[in-house]
Amino acid sequence: MNIDIKLHKEDLPDDLKLSDNIAIDCEFMGLNVDRDALCLVQISTGKNDAHIIQLNRETYNAPNLKSVLGNKKICKIFHYARADILFIKKYLKVNVENINCTKIMSKLARSYSDKHGLKDLIKEFAGTDINKSLQSSDFGGELSEKQLQYCAKDVIYLHKIYDSLKKILIREKRDNLYINSIKFIHQRVDLDLASFTSDIWSH
């Protein structure tokens, strides 16, 4: 598969026109939001394209990207939105609007499976095996071609996965359950930022 990959330094270009339905993923230096930096944001319009923004970690000044993230008219598809939005809110200081999460969709729709990772969803709905070995690589410096390919593959399948899971949710009459669940995402992120990372509903 030929992927149209474009690497942007610090921000999206002023003249770039995205669709009103985009897939987003992020790369960090680690998973500790208080220690590890947000390095990259990847965006795809679902047409085998990937715009990879290598952020300025000194300023995180990215007005065009922030405008897209905060635009309520643009549907945004994440996989494991909780983590991405946590880092976006911490470092880019923006509230992401109009959020969807294929991990939450999968857990509600695919009750026949206990595997809800992106690799599993891509295999089931796109018929493709992807290599996740670069997931823990260093995204803070110069990016290799293999890293760029990895970042792109994390977003180019999300539209197809989203559409497939949405059909199952509707068929199984769980779509309203998903809609109400995703509304909690900002509160879940705020709890994470306040160090309440465990399930506050548990006994």
What pLDDT score was predicted for residue 134? 84
Can you give the pLDDT at residue 135?
81
203 in a structural domain: no
* Domain annotation covers residue 106: yes
pLDDT at position 80, please? 96
Note whether residue 133 is domain-resident.
yes
Query: Which pLDDT score is estimated for 179?
Result: 98
Q: Specify the pLDDT at position 136.
A: 81
- The angle, 0 to 180 degrees and rounded to 10, between the axes of the packed helices 158-171 and 118-126 is 80
Q: Model-level pTM?
A: 0.95
Q: Which pLDDT score is estimated for 130?
A: 87
CA distance 7 to 149: 11
**Amino acid 132: pLDDT:** 81
Does 199 reside within a domain? no
CATH number of the domain that residue 97 is part of: 3.30.420.10
Q: Is residue 200 part of a domain?
A: no
The per-residue pLDDT for 176 is: 98
In a domain, 198, yes or no: no
- Rounded distance between C-alpha atoms, residue 60 and residue 148, angstroms: 20
Structural domain of residue 90, as residue ranges?
4-193
pLDDT value, residue 121: 98
Residue-wise pLDDT tens digits, 42-73: 999 999 999 999 999 999 999 999 999 999 99
Q: Residue ranges of the chain with pLDDT lower than 70?
A: none
Number of domains in the chain: 1
**201 belongs to a structural domain:** no
* SS3 of residue 79 by DSSP: coil
Sheet holding 21-28, edge to edge: 4-9, 49-54, 38-44, 21-28, 75-78, 99-101
Residue 49 falls within a domain, yes or no? yes
Q: What pLDDT, on the 0 to 100 scale, is given for residue 2?
A: 87
pLDDT value at position 158? 98
